[in-house]
Structure 1
Amino acid sequence: RGGDCRAELRVGHAAVENLEPAVVLPEPDRRPGRRRQNQPSRTLLDVCQPLCHRQSRIRSAPVRLALMIEGQEDVTWEQWLALARACEENRIDTLFRSDHYMSFAHPAEKGAMDAWTTLAGLAAATTTLRLGTLVSPVTFRHPSLLGKAVATADHISGGRVELGMGAGWNVPEHRAYGFPFPPLRERTELLAEQLEIVHRQWKDDRFDFHGRHYELENCTALPKPVQKPHPPLLVGGKGMPGTARPAARWADEYNTFMMPPDEFAEVVRRVREACEQEGRDPGTMRFSLMTGCVIGDERKRRLYGDETPPDTALVGSVEEVATRIREYGDRGCERVMLQHLLHDDVDAVAEFGRDLAPLVA
């Protein structure tokens, strides 16, 4: 099993690099994360305080934690229920899942339940847990179907769902299921149009839409979601214009993945710049990170064996992981989605909520 987990991590991490074109990131000359007003400056006495006191001073903003599960890696319904219960019992307020139909490493062996069907079921089985996708590719569903599915899940949950959207990337998966996979430029055009359509489905009483890729006439899309003004919209990417500009127009949150803190800061800078170009207050955009998290030597051995974990993963003791998370918080990150690849290990979820979350809150 350990070898399987390592293969999944390698394949998944390599593939997501293709979401947007690679760029050489300059060193930022400042940290663009927002700081609390009237925050006192640190003194020599602060530096010399014991570690337990220092931990509350070295971060500039609290960071919320969410759980992220790779649902295409043979997660059973019983495991989904156990993970959701563990989140609710241990104050992890949101459970995200990937939206894929095929395992990255073992497509002929591992099953993948449909994302929004799974989330609707979990919505009925939970009471407080928020639920969402990270992220739903624009190539899988017509936006009218996607908007309707999310609105339905919002009613089932009583207003607890979030929609993450992205341009899509996994070519073999698209070929296997017969989904068209156009060039990146066209996929980002689809993203922009889908974000507007979903947004208007949720808010407008009746509307027409005439775009390059979609035509809607006299659309009412009832019932509207429970959440007002609408369920949170999240866009995933690396801060390039193809995702940053549509996000600046329509999204509440921008999520990126598996990168060092300074690269994260550069993504924040680029997306905030896109907000300014769109006439939006950059301070209204939230930022988050999805990255792997493994606490403890035993889990590290199970997942990586003798291999060295990737630099972007949060691996170590609770205190070591908390320190890494604060580095992202200092650079504008408000939420970290902890990618938990050992989905049969609910004790790890309890540790995330019970031990890790208080250190970064």
Structure 2
Amino acid sequence: MQLGVHYMNFSHPDWQHTLTDRLTETAKVADEGGVTLLTVMDHYYQMIQAGGPFEPMLEGYTTLGYLAGVTSNVELGLLVTGVTYRHPGLLAKIATTADVLSRGRAWLGIGAAWYDREHEGLGVPFPPVKERFERLEETLQIVNQMWSDDDGAYSGKHYQLRETLNLPQPPRGRLPIMVGGGGEQKTLRLVAQYADACHLFTSEGLDSVAHKLDVLRGHCEAVGRDYDSIKKTIGGGGGPDPLADPDAFLRSMEDYAGLGVSLVTVAPYGQDPVAWTTEFTETVLPRLQEI
């Protein structure tokens, strides 16, 4: 099984002076230590459950651009972009730029958005949930068109593009698309129809993940998609620090691997993300990779 490191907390001691150094060193440890995917959040404000709006939060794609310059191996992404944050044509251009400048290491993580306070706080429209999912589907159609040979118009209910030009194109032809969330009627259908990876939450437990993967399989059958071609990823456990009981963590990962999950994303615990990531990559990651 592969490892993703999700750097979601910037509020470490003396962050006003050390935020950049900590992020940089953690990224370098991940890059050199065998981590597959390094992600940050895409939020304007820190989430309430992680301290709220008065804690520091970096803009996501600016951060990815910086991380592309200080790493060489690890893949990079946002977990995940809210569809309301950027116009889809601009989003495709921004994500492509991150991919080009990282020499083909960027992912597009995307979801329907949920954090109303940050939208209201910065004056960004926050449509009802039904409309957000409509916009999410149109965005997935647009980015896939912009990463194809079709540079013609796109006309949808919410977005109209006269020319879907996108140069340079991604080095791999397109970015892997990860759709975050486990909504059974809409989100997982969008995964089956448009995406390369799903991201499900371990906080809901093994049985829930197994059920949602069964739902995803059904959506794949309905749209004629090869279920096995979709990468299954998990994260957001919110449980005990894996370093406190590595054996228990690895046993649980064996269970998820049995469901077809191939990547787990873990956020560094404690006040020193550099030390945590170093210890994890040295002592736990080699065993995780054997699963």
Does the pair score TM above 0.5? yes
Q: Deviations over 1:141-168 (max 9, x none)?
A: 1011111111111111111111100001
Unaligned runs of 5+ in 2: none
Alignment counterpart, residue 242 of structure 1, candidates 177, 186, 190: 186
1:280 aligns with 2:225: yes
Q: Distance in 2 between matches of 1:185 and 1:73?
A: 34
Q: Distance in 2 between matches of 1:328 and 1:250?
A: 24
Residue correspondence of structure 1 range 306-325 to structure 2 within 5 A? 309=239, 314=242, 316-325=244-253
3-state SS of paired residue (1:203) = coil
Alignment counterpart, residue 348 of structure 1, candidates 267, 272, 276: 276
Q: Deviations over 1:10-64 (max 9, x none)?
A: xxxxxxxxxxxxxxxxxxxxxxxxxxxxxxxxxxxxxxxxxxxxxxxxxxxxx21
Q: Distance in 2 between matches of 1:212 and 1:181?
A: 17
Q: Distance in 2 between matches of 1:289 and 1:315?
A: 18
Alignment correspondent of 1:223: 168
Alignment counterpart, residue 125 of structure 1, candidates 48, 65, 70: 70
Alignment correspondent of 1:69: 7
**What TM-score comes out, normalization by structure 2 length?**
0.90
1:326 aligns with 2:254: yes
**What TM-score comes out, normalization by structure 1 length?**
0.73
Residue correspondence of structure 1 range 116-265 to structure 2 within 5 A? 116-228=61-173, 230-257=174-201, 258-265=203-210
Alignment correspondent of 1:91: 34
Counterpart residue type for residue 251 of structure 1: A
Counterpart residue type for residue 128 of structure 1: N
Tell me by how many angstroms 1:273 deviates.
0.8
Q: Deviations over 1:92-114 (max 9, x none)?
A: 12101111111224445322111
Check conservation: 1:66, 1:337, Cα contact below 8 A.
yes
Tell me by how many angstroms 1:357 deviates.
1.9
Distance of aligned partners of 1:327 and 1:352 in 2 relative to their CA distance in 1, 3 Å threshold: same
Tell me by how many angstroms 1:343 deviates.
6.1
Q: Distance in 2 between matches of 1:196 and 1:80?
A: 33
Alignment correspondent of 1:337: 265
Q: Distance in 1 between matches of 2:119 and 2:272?
A: 28
Q: Distance in 1 between matches of 2:279 and 2:249?
A: 12
Tell me by how many angstroms 1:316 deviates.
3.3
1:114 aligns with 2:52: no
Larger Cα-atom Rg: 1
Q: Distance in 2 between matches of 1:146 and 1:218?
A: 15
Check conservation: 2:47, 2:53, Cα contact below 8 A.
no
Distance of aligned partners of 1:286 and 1:65 in 2 relative to their CA distance in 1, 3 Å threshold: same
Tell me by how many angstroms 1:211 deviates.
0.7
After the TM superposition, list the runs of 4 or more consecutive aligned residues in structure 1 that deviate by more than 4 angstroms.
71-75
Q: Deviations over 1:277-314 (max 9, x none)?
A: 11112121111101247xxxxxxxxxxxxxxx57xx75
Q: Distance in 2 between matches of 1:354 and 1:252?
A: 29
- Structure with larger RCO (C-alpha < 8 A, sep 6+): 1
Unaligned runs of 5+ in 1: 1-62, 294-308
1:100 aligns with 2:43: yes
Tell me by how many angstroms 1:194 deviates.
0.4
Q: Percent of counterpart pairs with the same letter?
A: 32
Alignment correspondent of 1:30: none
Tell me by how many angstroms 1:129 deviates.
1.5
Q: Distance in 1 between matches of 2:129 and 2:6?
A: 25
Alignment correspondent of 1:59: none
Number of equivalenced pairs:
281
Q: Distance in 2 between matches of 1:108 and 1:98?
A: 14
3-state SS of paired residue (2:261) = coil
Distance of aligned partners of 1:349 and 1:292 in 2 relative to their CA distance in 1, 3 Å threshold: farther
RMSD over aligned CA atoms reads 1.9
